[in-house]
Amino acid sequence: MQAEILPSEPDLVHTSVGKSKMTSFECFHARIAAIPKVFCYTKPTGMELKINNQHKQFEAETLSVQALLDLEFPNKQNGIAFAINNSVVPKTEWTTTALSETDEILIITATQGG
């Protein structure tokens, strides 16, 4: 009986998820035509958000708008506009507004120049 072992390492070069952290690891076995095969995959933990049309993975299970901005823009709190599902979130509500994986998030930052 032959066994074929498939690679268990994730292909980080060809993945479309930015800043992904893959920590949990699961395997299952399948028997096809009497040849056992082992399929292994990693399951991302945390939360995946779509920000400015890019998917990003975060370790936290829940995030508020303010927590996300603290991660993405640690030294900038002024000149930022934040929208969830095409609705602007006022700055006074950033700490109390929770984000969901189904939300489409748009972050706009002001820049100066000439």
- H helices then E strands: how many in the chain? 1, 8
Q: What is the pLDDT of residue 51?
A: 95
Contact (CB, 8 A) for 90 and 84? no
pTM here?
A: 0.59
Share of the chain above pLDDT 70, in %: 61
Which pLDDT tens digit goes with each residue over 23-37?
444 555 555 555 566
